Structure 1
């Protein structure tokens, strides 16, 4: 009986094809964490990593993902509309995945600064601006950002939310480069930057009790309440 076992050995385990092994190989690749003074090598490794594991995500980071659909409710607050088509759903999912991937590759002490950014391409460019280049170029960029803050203004033809978005983007860049301003300074600067048609509202808001406790977003939402009246008064004065 023992001899019969030798004559019929158990079959060898099935071998995996290269195609079957590929997903395991990809999953074992570690995400490269950005370290001080190593931006160039980090960017190169991230490019190879993303190109190999998920090329569409790399395309989102490099080229952007297109504008999202927005609407304005009865109170004038702008809201991002949920995706409807299969293409929009896929594009939104790729944007989230690209943004999450970049955040996971950043050191923990810098996460809070970049977490506010919702656009992966903008985040990639900001990472390069913050960590790439030499100390002199970084110092110059910080100086330029501060000059842009001091000279910031909202034009008469600019919708309030456009000026708000521009200012928020500038604040994010300043914070990333270690040149951020306090919330109080940012609020006061934005109020002073509004066009002449907002002068009365701006004065009221600057002297309003409790304005110090408002966040910058709360200040913006308070200003939105007055936008219709400001537009109306501007239209009346121009027609007169």
Structure 2
């Protein structure tokens, strides 16, 4: 998810890291409430916060959404997702199950959009898929993506 957000819109990842949430102030009744954004900077921060939270929620399977529904801010949501993922990994390890690097890479390749099917097939057939780190796989996909953009622009120019 980190790689996806930093690639598509780095400002969204910054919301998770820095907590770019709107200010909270006490309402007249004594309960806390959100202050509506007034300046352009506040409106952009609110937009980024909502977009980031929505993107994170879209990545969660429907059957697990209820566990994260009440979380108000993207940074808090990200921390909860990481904690849940680490708990699941720990529970698997307790029972002797280990997720191999190849399984992680195959899961990433299966999650790509249909337009990436040919590239995913090439990557799945690589001999080093079991030793290739997730970052290296991501970087290889970025190389293919940039090559496709160059080929697309040159074919449209001709």
Category of TM-score, reference length = shorter chain:
0.5 to 0.7
**1:72 Cα deviation (Å)?**
2.1
What is the TM-score with the length of structure 1 in the denominator?
0.36
Q: Do the aligned partners of residues 126 and 105 (structure 1) sit closer, same or farther apart at CA in structure 2, a change above 3 Å counting?
A: same
Give distance in 2, aligned partners of 1:59 and 1:95. Answer: 10
2:91 is aligned with 1:135: yes
Give distance in 2, aligned partners of 1:77 and 1:85. Answer: 24
Offset from partner CA, 1:191-239 (integer Å, 9 cap, x none) = xxxxxxxxxxxxxxxxxxxxxxxxxxxxxxxxxxxxxxxxxxxxxxxxx
**1:93 Cα deviation (Å)?**
0.6
- Unaligned residue ranges in structure 1 (runs of 5+): 1-45, 139-240
Q: Do the aligned partners of residues 126 and 91 (structure 1) sit closer, same or farther apart at CA in structure 2, a change above 3 Å counting?
A: same
The 4+ residue runs of structure 1 with deviation greater than 6 A are none
Give distance in 1, aligned partners of 2:2 and 2:31. Answer: 38
**1:77 Cα deviation (Å)?**
2.6
The CA RMSD over aligned residues, in Å, is 2.1
**1:78 Cα deviation (Å)?**
2.3
Match among 59, 65, 79 for residue 14 of structure 2: 59
Match among 39, 47, 50 for residue 5 of structure 2: 50
- Unaligned residue ranges in structure 2 (runs of 5+): 95-158
What is the count of residue pairs matched by the alignment?
A: 92
Q: Do the aligned partners of residues 82 and 67 (structure 1) sit closer, same or farther apart at CA in structure 2, a change above 3 Å counting?
A: closer
- Tell me if structure 1 keeps the 8 A contact 2:25–2:32: yes
**1:123 Cα deviation (Å)?**
0.6
Match among 54, 64, 72 for residue 27 of structure 2: 72
Match among 55, 62, 66 for residue 112 of structure 1: 66
